[in-house]
A and B are shown apart, each in its own frame.
Chain A
Amino acid sequence: MSIDHTKCDITGMVERHIMIAADSSDNARRAVLFVGDFFGCYEGFQVTLLHIILEPEATFFRGKDERQKWLADQRGESRKFMEEYRNILVDAGFPEDKVNVRIDTMRAPSVADCIIKEQDEMKCCTIVIGRRGISKKEEFIFGSTSNKIIHEARKCAVLVIE
């Protein structure tokens, strides 16, 4: 029988799975600190740190080499900050084997779509994300990942950290 982690059991019998959608920004770091501070001292939590590298179409680049270099740079940079976030969570009290790091490269209309897809697959009961605090104009043109997740995520709680 599989366990549905989206149904959080208040008796503590079911392990809660929290997903932190992170990037290199200060607000993502605040989201990680929040989770560490709030949940690090409790048992029964598993955390997945998720970073999405939204890959542009191949035609965005001048050639294969430029694309490969871009991907390698992105992956290299993300490994660094994700490792740092992992250490923050472990230092806050999460057992090492309860903190997963996942870096996915995807093509999609938006980062939010990727995060929601991953949440659905991993059955996390909570998505934690930092709010970038973008201007109204930027949201109008480029959209807001946290707003899109608030509106479109299903069967989970969403925590947006300011």
Chain B
Amino acid sequence: MGTTYSVAQLKELIAEKLGPGFVPPRFKIITDTSDFFQVDYNDVCVLDEIPYLMLNYTREGRFGLDDEPKYWVRKGVDLLSGSRKIIKLVFHEEIEARIGDIVFKCVRSPGKEAEILKVVRGHPNFMQGIAVLDEADNIIRILDNILGKQLDQIVNKLNENHEEYFFQHLPGLLKIFTGLVEAIGFLHDHGHKHGDIRRDHILHDRENDCYRWIDFDYDYMHMASMFGYDLFGLGNILIFLVGGGDLTIQQLTAEKAPALQSLTADDMNIIFKNRVANIKKIYPYVPDALNYILLHFSNGANLYYENTVQLLEDLGDVQINA
């Protein structure tokens, strides 16, 4: 029989951890989170004998679109330790993922994320947390809150002038990126794919000064290459880092960039046809060794990376000298 909490005990805990002003007059005590829409602001979920005060849902947005609410991902407070948490409830979603014009079936797998959380425990390049079962055997992930910005937000702020960004900031960013690629290699070595590698899925943990991969719950059926999609994601992030943002045809046209004339279809990202992958054509000071890596993700590529070891080998050859 698990620990049960009375309303009075929980009010006392809320007052102790957050202050008397935060004690809600009424709230539900929830042990089965199957219907996550029933979990309201200020309700208390008791999971694996620990009470969590449930707060706002989180949002996720990209590419200038409005942030999408993620009703199943909630901010919360562990009422025993007082620490802030992100609590991911179970949402079995089946998604038709689109990459360019390729469509494939993806699922949200709480079990996959739970497995990975175990594998990466203590690893500085991954979000940390635990997975517990609620009363209805839903796999709930209770994650440490990471205070800090997304990698893409950091890069966008640094890139006032590309040449300055390239020589002053990119060497440091490449070092960080290399560590992140090694971390994905660690995951692959343990038989897991990340499944949703994107630049906004890397958070800078200000407290511990490290960069962490987040959100591992996407899964898809692979056939000939289990890690190809992850490598594609890594390539996109590298192209973004080297360009100091996305270099699109639209943007270059607006800027009347002279390099526009020399760009061909082969120079573009293999999937996203409007993004330049052959960045040396725009910024000639990009060293060959670095541009060579980018070309693996271009439309003209005849050779692809099959694993992180190959990518890391090539990253090791890159030197940026002013």
Contact = CB atoms under 8 A, between A and B. Distances in A.
Interface residues of B, number: 30
Contacts of B92: 62
Interface in B187-231: 219, 221-229
A137 interface: yes
B106 to A, nearest CB: 10
A143 B112 contact: no
A56 B218 CA distance: 13
Contacts of B102: 135, 137-138, 141
B99 A141 contact: yes
Contacts of A141: 99, 102, 225, 228-229, 232, 271
Contacts of A138: 102
A109 B227 contact: yes
Interface in B123-161: none
B178 interface: no
B100 interface: yes
A1 B101 CA distance: 55
A42 interface: no
A137 B271 contact: yes
A142 B112 contact: no
B224 A112 contact: yes
Interface residues of A, number: 24
Interface string A45-82: 00000000010111110100000000000000000000
Given A59-B109, A59-B111, A140 B224 contact: no
Contact of A143 (B219, B228, B271, B299): B228
Contacts of A137: 99-102, 270-271
A70 to B, nearest CB: 10
Interface in A5-58: 54, 56-58
Nearest to B101: A137
A119 interface: no
B304 interface: yes
B271 A145 contact: no
A135 B225 CA distance: 15
Interface string A107-141: 00111100000000000000000000001111111
A137 B228 CA distance: 11
A143 B226 CA distance: 8
A161 B272 CA distance: 31
A154 interface: no
Contacts of A56: 219, 221
B270 A140 contact: yes
Contacts of B228: 140-143
B270 A54 contact: no
A55 to B, nearest CB: 9
A21 B43 CA distance: 55
Contact of A142 (B100, B110, B223): B223
Contacts of A135: 102
A59 B99 contact: no
Nearest to B219: A60
A141 B225 CA distance: 7
A60 B225 contact: no
B223 A54 contact: yes
B273 to A, nearest CB: 10
A110 B224 contact: yes
B133 to A, nearest CB: 13
A102 interface: no
B177 to A, nearest CB: 20
A155 interface: no
B219 A59 contact: yes
Most chain B CB inside 10 Å of its own CB: which residue of A57, A58, A135, A147: A57
B314 interface: no
Nearest to B92: A62
Contacts of A59: 109-112, 114-115, 219
Interface of A: 54, 56-60, 62, 109-112, 135-145, 147-148
8 contacts: A56-B221, A59-B109, A110-B226, A137-B100, A140-B270, A141-B232, A142-B228, A148-B225
